[in-house]
Amino acid sequence: MNDTPRPLAVGMVGHVFMGAAHSQAWRNAPRFFELPLTPAMAVVCGRDAGRAAAAAARLGWSASETDWRRLVERDDVDLVDICTPGDTHAEIAIAALDARKHVLCEKPLANTVAEAEAMAEAAARAAAAGVRAMVGFTYRRVPAIALARRLVEDGRIGEVRHVRAQYLQDWIADPEAPLSWRLEKDKAGSGALGDIGAHIIDLTQFITQDRITEVSGQLTTFVKERPLATEHSGLSGTAAAGAGERGPVTVDDAAVFLAKFTGGAVGVFEATRFATGRKNAIRIEINGDKGSLAFDFEDMNVLQVYDAGEADETAGFKRILVTGPDHPYVAAWWPPGHGLGYEHAFTHQVVDLVTAIAEGTDPRPTFADGLQVQRVLAAVETSSDTRSWQEIPA
């Protein structure tokens, strides 16, 4: 009897930042976790034949393509992993789902609510045929975040009252940083709001298991024009230009908003790429009537836990080092105290996705979950434009 798990052939579209992170996850997952299916890295796709072939060799893919349509049509691809800018997500994902390929799509799900709705509808059609779709909100799979969700679910902090969430970066604080696709609305959909704000929207809803129902927000663009990227800048999506030429920034640089949750909690959110000195600070604090939780990705192996029932003499936030075998995902890795990094959450994402496919269940977050986040993003934009509170459709 052959107990070897059957293969799951993967084709990935896009091979730069996210593509490299996803590639490492596909390589590592079956080496550290016992999976019910064995991922096979069949083919990677990029627009330039030479770069795609080089990426395949460097990242561990068996072949390369230059047209995502050919990748979707291949008989040796069971799952399509989408690591491209947001303006391409809907077309690729819907085509893959209609071709009965499982789909993993990077966040945010799309650039507009209409695109996200079409993707969620395609995912629902495909699910009836046993085809699965998932959004890559990877930070859910950081062990400390997964532990925070577990503690809230177990009632350890009681009724959630306050939610605070920040995502702070500074990579475009320099006004001379060149224009890239992430600063162009037609490609990225939005700026800090969708690029990083989407993460903290998903994380707070994931941890609390409450949905955001209403928002009031403001978007700001500090630098209205930037130098156009040159051929040697390494930034895709912007035409090469001569020295001194500049192009318009058409997205927000920073987003702030208030939120209300289904359970009655209130929230304060901030997403910016102008927080000088902050590289990737994701800060989440959840306050309940029995305690609090606090997390900062720049100290990602730690969860701060406060128990309001403890005597005043010894009360205070307790620093939990989330590296033990009883913590989510950690048992497959290193001995206690040997911390995990950014890349490990992508491996955990593969583990959860492959397991759900094998079990015939919907992996979370689903495209419907991604659509709900998209509706929050759109409501924040509308609120900023109209200076009014906006309700989020259920």
Res 247: pLDDT: 96
pLDDT for residue 229: 82
Look up residue 59 and give its DSSP letter.
H
Which domains, and CATH codes, for the chain? 6-138 (3.40.50.720), 143-299+301-340 (3.30.360.10)
* pLDDT surpassing 90 at residue 134: yes
Vertex 184, ends 109 and 221: CA angle to 5°? 105
Query: Average model confidence (pLDDT) for the chain?
Result: 95
b or e along 65-82 (b: 16 or more beta carbons within 10 Å of the residue's beta carbon)? beebeebbebeebbbbbb
Mean pLDDT of 351-376: 98
What pLDDT score does 163 carry? 98
At 230 the pLDDT is: 67
Over residues 106-118, the mean pLDDT reads 97
Mean pLDDT of all residues in 11-37: 98
Mean pLDDT of 268-288: 98
How many angstroms separate the CA atoms of 365 and 139, rounded?
11
Q: Given this model, what pLDDT does residue 4 score?
A: 76
- pLDDT exceeds cutoff 70 at 240: no
Q: Is the pLDDT of residue 383 over 60?
A: yes
| Residue pLDDT, tens place only, 40-88 | 999 999 999 999 999 999 999 999 999 999 999 999 999 999 999 999 9
pLDDT at 18 exceeding the cut of 50: yes
Q: Once rounded to an integer, what is the mean pLDDT over residues 295-323?
A: 97
Site of tokens 């230059």: 66
Nearest-angstrom CA–CA distance, 314 and 326: 25
C-alpha span between 67 and 188 (Å, rounded): 21
pLDDT (0 to 100) of residue 243: 62
pLDDT in tens, 173-223: 999 999 999 999 999 999 999 999 999 999 999 999 999 999 999 999 999
How many C-beta atoms surround the C-beta of residue 31 within 10 A? 9
Q: What is the pLDDT of residue 285?
A: 98
Give 342's pLDDT tier (boundaries 50, 70, 90). very high
Q: pTM for the whole thing?
A: 0.94
Q: Which tens digit of pLDDT belongs to each residue from 290-301? A: 999 999 999 999
Q: In angstroms, rounded to a whole number, what is the distance separating the alpha carbons of residues 296 and 310? A: 24
